[in-house]
Amino acid sequence: MNKMELKFSATLENEALARIAISSFIAPLNPSLEDISEIKTMVSEAVSNAIIHGYGFDMSRDVILRCELEKRTLTIIVIDYGKGIENLEEAKRPHYSSRPDLERAGMGLTIMETLADDFEIRSVYGMGSKVIIKKNIALKGEYVS
């Protein structure tokens, strides 16, 4: 198993860092462009949720990105120690946003859940959240269900 961990300041500029890091991490698998795009999208959504909703743009706080690669299964874990999610079921509803003032679509959790092969959120209100995403990376030309 290969693994990495990256800790960075909770600023939206670091969303690109997270996307590049994960792309580099999976590069030895020679993933399809579709897999790369889906993985980068899920990482973007998880990281931006931590920054915006978990920390309220407090760049003095850190977001943690952990990745594990076992055979062709990628596990992505994004952790924040921010405010947590008060009502997880409500947060999972499409178009729900705890920050409607930011004109966000409220689709981040739905997008991650749709693109992932396995998706889980653990959150304790007042303590933070952990998003766990699993994605099977196909060999080029192979279909993984």
User: Two tokens at 50?
Assistant: 């931590």
d(CA 93, CA 80): 21
CB-CB contact of 42 with 116 (8 Å): yes
Catalytic residue among 14, 15, 38, 49: 49
Residue type (1 letter), 136: N
Catalytic residue among 104, 113, 122, 136: 104
User: Two tokens at 120?
Assistant: 């889980």
Question: Is the torsion defined by CA of 14, 70, 128, 45 positive or negative?
Answer: positive
Q: What does the angle CA 43 – CA 48 – CA 54 come to, to the nearest 5 degrees?
A: 120
Concerning whether 45 is annotated as a catalytic residue, the answer is yes
Catalytically active residues, by annotation: 45, 49, 104
